[in-house]
Chains A and B, each alone.
Chain A
Amino acid sequence: LAKTTQPISMDSYEGQEVNITCSHNNIATNDYITWYQQFPSQGPRFIIQGYKTKVTNEVASLFIPADRKSSTLSLPRVSLSDTAVYYCLVGENYGGATNKLIFGTGTLLAVQP
């Protein structure tokens, strides 16, 4: 079971680019890397998913080096509304019915004006 390690908290200012790095040293060949965002008193929201190299969508970019032992979520030009907890997850994908996500404690990103 791959375990993830990410900073407990980060601070930023509006308009800055924020990079949150996650370590997953024992990631397995079948594992996907996924990031979720959670606001207080709400359920988590899927942000982005990747397997290797770089993935970009309208919200964020995900950078994954060749060894896949870490990944970096990049949020361009953050605003106050990006203040939330961000979870890095390694999803166990064994092609069967028990594929699942394991959440850690996440990174609390605080964006200041």
Chain B
Amino acid sequence: EAEVAQSPRYKITEKSQAVAFWCDPISGHATLYWYRQILGQGPELLVQFQDESVVDDSQLPKDRFSAERLKGVDSTLKIQPAELGDSAMYLCASSLGQDRFYEQYFGPGTRLTVT
């Protein structure tokens, strides 16, 4: 069964450093999502791509976070500089398209710890 791949699985970084996460969605999935999940809470949508275009980044802290999906396939989420409050699980998900937006396939996530 096809899966969403994410790397790294774990990342420890010092505050003020830069950090990047990578996601490879299921082949053929046009829509890609990045979520942030703080322990004990549900995932919060950070950014949503349709192919290579950003369609929703209203919750993305744009002063320090950036996301790209240059060829409409894999994607990178970057944080620079990292802050202590950024410690969380970062989840990537993909779906077939907007008419199937409710059925998203999630990767295993990247657990970020900022010290």
Binding site for B on A (CB under 8 A): 32, 34, 41-46, 49, 87, 89, 91, 93, 95-106
Which of the 9-residue segments B40-48, B67-75, B80-88 touches chain A? B40-48
For the complex, give the distance between the alpha carbons of A45 and B109 in Å.
Answer: 13
- Kindly supply a per-residue 1/0 record for chain B positions 26-65, scoring 1 wherever the CB is within 8 Å of any chain A CB and 0 otherwise: 0000000101000011111100101000011000000000
Whether the pair A101, B109 counts as a contact (CB closer than 8 A) is no
A100 neighbours in B (Cβ, 8 Å): 33, 45, 48, 56, 101
Can you report 28 A-B residue pairs in the complex whose CB atoms are below 8 A from each other? Answer: A34-B102, A42-B108, A42-B109, A43-B93, A43-B106, A43-B108, A43-B109, A44-B43, A46-B102, A46-B103, A89-B102, A93-B102, A95-B98, A96-B98, A97-B50, A97-B55, A97-B98, A98-B48, A98-B56, A99-B98, A99-B102, A100-B33, A100-B101, A101-B45, A103-B42, A103-B44, A105-B40, A105-B42
